Copies of this chain bind each other. A is one copy, B any other.
Amino acid sequence: MVRKRVTLSQVALEAGVAPSTASLVLAGRADELRISTTAQERVREAAQRLGYRPNALSAGLRTGTTRTLGFVSDSVASSQLTGEMIRAAIEAARARGYMVFVGETGGDAQLERDLLDAMSDRQVDGLILATMLTHARQIPAAATRMPTVLLNIEPIGERGSVDLVRVLPDEYRAGQDAARLLVDTGHRRIHIIGVGADPEHAHPFALAAALRLRGALSVLTEAGIDIVSAQPATQWLPPEGFRLTSAVIERGEPCDALLCFNDRLAMGAYQALHETGLRVPDDVSVVSFDDTTFARWLRPGLTTFAFPQRAMAKRATDELIDLIERGEHAGDEGGGVTGATHLIPLPLRSRESVADRS
């Protein structure tokens, strides 16, 4: 019942030419090698008629290239962000004729090795290694043996991994932008929700948080504004946002704006403000980061800097394919672009949670 796949030699037979000729025609190298137009047409017509599709396995075996990418990420939680990344990567790959194997490690190093092995066994042309929470990590050895780009990962350790291409969100800049937004709209009593005032201890999402914080502080300092308070949180979730914001309100310190370190904290902040009878943005403005799905659904709509998942994933994919098609990779001596870091901006989604007090 399974109509067996049509092979190239069947097409050649049908067209009355040699398999190699058919191969050339179908690979589009006919002109280059001056194959008669009639032969070309016969081949194409036969291929069409038989519904010929090349066997990618076979071609891959022969050429050593499969037009296939591997996408490996950790993180099972926080999946809204990851989902879009995977999707964007797949789209970008597809647009250039690549398919992608997707794997998730859940942070398990052994599983990661297995996954990478399985992909490497299937001869993927390159790898995208991603984490959902920007952070530093060791790069598995497998990654240094083939073209690889790091998505949202800052590599630590040597082993040549330092010169892998990296795609990262521009957190520092986002921190600056957020602070500037508040300053420009006349806010002076700003509280930070999510991290303490010291960038050195900006746990738990180390890199992102620390960079954002530094960015924000640089702008505020320049404007001569002191943070009223900065509330560290161990989990960036609504209950924490609620708790911290309630604390701020209870302490009775002046407060005209909350700089929340992600939308979930902001959601908690909204709830706390709401239950205390404070209005957003009339009494307190709120700015945040991520642009989670629900940000637009909060009332009033949450003004937030979008984590550029799609742009990052697309960029990573394009960089990877460039790398592959240029024929370089991390293992090479790489006189070229190898090791570049690409920072992707976090665009502002301006909604209704920031008042103009200027």
CA distance in complex: A94, B3 (Å): 29
Partner of A297 from the list B66, B84, B238, B275 (CB cut-off 8 Å) is: B238
CA distance A57 to B122 in the complex (A): 6
- By a CB distance below 8 angstroms, the chain B residues around A122 are 56-57, 66, 68, 99
Interface set, chain A 300-331, CB cutoff 8 A to B: 329, 331
Asked whether A186 is an interface residue with its Cβ less than 8 Å from the other chain, the reply is no
Which single residue of chain B is at the shortest CB-CB distance from A111? Answer: B94
A1 to B160 alpha-carbon distance, docked (Å): 12
Q: How far is the CB of A125 from chain B (nearest CB, A)?
A: 12
A287 within 8 A of B: no
The answer, yes or no, to whether A118 is at the interface (CB within 8 Å) is: yes
Q: Which residues of B contact A100 (CB under 8 A)?
A: 101-102
- Taking a contact as CB atoms under 8 Å apart, the answer to whether B119 and A99 are in contact is yes
Q: Is A102's CB under 8 angstroms from B102's CB?
A: yes
Check A123 for interface membership: any CB of B closer than 8 A. Answer: yes
Contacts of A332 in B (CB 8 A): 1
Q: Does A83 count as interface, using CB distance less than 8 angstroms? A: yes
When distances are taken between beta carbons in the complex, the residues of chain B under 8 Å from A2 are 145-146, 329, 331
Task: Please give, as numbers and ranges, the residues of chain B lying within 8 Å of A239 by CB-CB distance.
Answer: 297
- A interface: dominant SS: helix
Q: Judge whether A37 is part of the interface by a CB distance below 8 angstroms.
A: no
* In the bound complex, CA of A79 to CA of B119 (Å): 26
Q: Is A214 an interface residue (CB 8 A)?
A: no
- Whole-angstrom distance between the alpha carbons of A333 and B2 in the complex? 11
Which one, A85-93, A175-183, A245-253, is touching chain B? A85-93
11 extra interface residue pairs, beta carbon distance < 8 Å, beyond A57-B60, A94-B118, A274-B274:
A55-B61, A55-B121, A56-B118, A76-B87, A79-B87, A80-B83, A86-B102, A90-B102, A101-B102, A239-B297, A264-B297
List the B side residues contacting A102 at CB < 8 Å: 86, 90, 100-102
Contact of A90 among B104, B117, B274, B329 (CB under 8 A): B104
Using CB atoms, name the residue of chain B closest to A114. B94
A108 → chain B closest CB, angstroms: 11
- A152 contacts B by Cβ under 8 Å: no
A123 touches B55 (CB 8 A): yes
Is A54 a contact of B294 with CB atoms below 8 Å? no
CA gap between A35 and B60 in the complex, in Å: 33
Report if A103 contacts B (CB, 8 A): yes
